[in-house]
């Protein structure tokens, strides 16, 4: 095919053509018909499921965070309780030691009295 | 007072009395009601205020490492305990604490079950230490130590089956030097002998 043939064919093909008098009414009728067809949407159950999944994930995250916080707090309380326990035993021991020391001191310095009970 | 208030009081008063008596009955033997000593805390240069109830003791025990000998011994010591309460105040001046509050605690130790094991009075050092034991049917249920020194006042109340021999064996493990006393001295009343 020569270039002239191609050009001629293109001219024929691209020749302006009148759409006809009823073109505009046909387009409007078509648009009106399409509007009546409902748009494609996600089913309601799928939307609910999506929200449920999100809610569940958020709940699990919150629960994990709360559990972690509780664990951290519990550990802090435990360490504090252990410190207090050792401190209490230290004070108790110190006072028993004081009693022993006074009892074992020379007689003129200490006056131990026993209830005899 | 109007009629409705009177009725309300008639309803609440016996209930409060009942709850109080139940609470008192539920308190384990060997437990002392220690005053808050709020005034003392303000005057003191150093304060130790420790209240370990059974739940906190259990929690503390959970943080003791049984593989460590000291922790294991401590765990064993507190196994039978229901509470440890310590109030200790150190002052910058001599005898800054009121004796009335001390006497209030001492009064509780006159109750049946409590026996004074040792009363130590050092005139030279102006030190007074009383050790009391609460026993129920021959089983130790509590220990109380009241120690008055010129610049320090301490009350210790250990509730439950305390083993003084075990406590003695722990000596040297909380920064307290070991004492040259025989092991059988931990029994209590024979300490001063």
One-character DSSP codes across B7-29: HHHHHHHHHHHHHHHHHHHHSPT
d(CA B171, CA B70): 10
d(CA B43, CA B152): 12
Please report, for chain B, the start and end positions of each structural domain, with discontinuous segments joined by +. Answer: 29-162
**Residue A23 CB coordination number (10 Å):** 10
Paired sense of beta strands B127-136 and B152-160, if any: unpaired
pLDDT at A84: 93
Chain A residues with CB under 8 Å of B125 CB are 102, 109
Chain B interface includes A65 (CB < 8 A): no
CB pairs under 8 A between A and B: 142
For tokens 């004796």, name the residue: B99
Contact B168 A96 (CB under 8 A): yes
pLDDT at position B127 over 50? yes
Of B187 and A107, the one with more pLDDT: A107
Which element (helix H / strand E) includes B48? strand B46-52
Contact B189 A81 (CB under 8 A): no
Contact A97, B129 (CB under 8 A): no
Which tokens is B144 given? 């109380």
Q: What is the pLDDT along chain A (117 residues), one digit of tens a residue?
A: 678 888 988 888 888 888 888 888 899 998 888 877 766 666 788 888 889 999 999 999 999 999 999 999 999 999 999 999 999 988 988 888 888 877 776 665 444 554 443
Chain A residues with CB under 8 Å of B177 CB are 97
pLDDT at B20: 54
pLDDT at A2: 79
Contact B86, B154 (CB under 8 A): yes
Contact B118 A109 (CB under 8 A): no
Starting at the edge strand found earlier in the chain, the sheet holding B139-149 runs B46-52, B81-90, B152-160, B139-149, B127-136, B114-122
CB-nearest to B192 from A81, A92, A103 is A103
pLDDT at A36: 77
Phi/psi at B122 (nearest 5 deg)? -110, 105
Chain A residues with CB under 8 Å of B151 CB are none
**Longest Cα pair distance anywhere in chain A, in angstroms?**
140
d(CA B62, CA B186): 27
pLDDT at B35: 81
Query: Considering the entire predicted model, what is its pTM?
Result: 0.66
Which element (helix H / strand E) includes B119? strand B114-122
Which tokens is B55 given? 């739940």
Which element (helix H / strand E) includes A8? helix A3-13
pLDDT at B1: 55
ipTM for the whole complex: 0.73
pLDDT at position B110 over 50? yes
Q: Which residue in A101, A88, A114 sits closest to B143, CA to CA?
A: A88
pLDDT at position B104 over 70? yes
- Give the nearest chain B residue to A110 (CA atoms): B122
């Amino acid at each position: 095919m020569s270039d002239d043939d191609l050009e001629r064919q293109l001219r024929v093909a691209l020749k302006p053509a009148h759409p006809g008098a009823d073109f505009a009414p046909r387009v409007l009728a078509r648009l009106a018909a399409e509007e009546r067809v409902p748009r494609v949407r996600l089913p309601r159950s799928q939307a609910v499921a999506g929200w449920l999944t999100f809610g569940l994930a958020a709940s699990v995250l919150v629960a994990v965070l709360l559990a972690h916080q509780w664990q951290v707090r519990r550990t802090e309380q435990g360490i504090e309780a252990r410190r207090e326990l050792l401190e209490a035993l230290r004070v108790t021991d110190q006072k028993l030691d004081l009693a022993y020391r006074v009892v074992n001191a020379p007689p003129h310095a200490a006056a131990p009295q026993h209830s005899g009970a | 007072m109007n009629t409705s208030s009177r009725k309300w009081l008639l309803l609440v008063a016996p209930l409060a009395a009942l709850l109080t008596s139940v609470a008192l009955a539920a308190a384990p033997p060997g437990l002392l009601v220690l005053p808050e000593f709020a005034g003392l805390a303000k005057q003191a240069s150093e304060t130790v205020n420790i209240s370990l109830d059974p739940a906190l003791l259990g929690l503390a025990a959970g943080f003791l490492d049984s593989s460590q000998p000291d922790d294991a011994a401590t765990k064993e010591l507190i196994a039978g305990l229901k509470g440890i309460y310590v109030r200790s105040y150190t002052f910058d001046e001599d005898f800054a604490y009121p004796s009335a509050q001390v006497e209030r605690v001492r009064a509780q130790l006159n109750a049946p079950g409590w026996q004074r094991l040792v009363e130590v009075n050092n005139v030279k050092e102006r030190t007074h230490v009383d050790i009391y034991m609460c026993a129920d049917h021959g089983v130790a249920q509590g220990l109380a130590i009241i120690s008055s020194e010129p610049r320090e006042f301490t009350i210790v109340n250990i509730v439950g089956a305390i083993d003084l021999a075990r406590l003695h064996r722990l000596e040297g493990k909380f920064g307290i030097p070991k004492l040259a006393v025989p092991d059988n001295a931990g029994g209590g009343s024979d300490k001063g002998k």
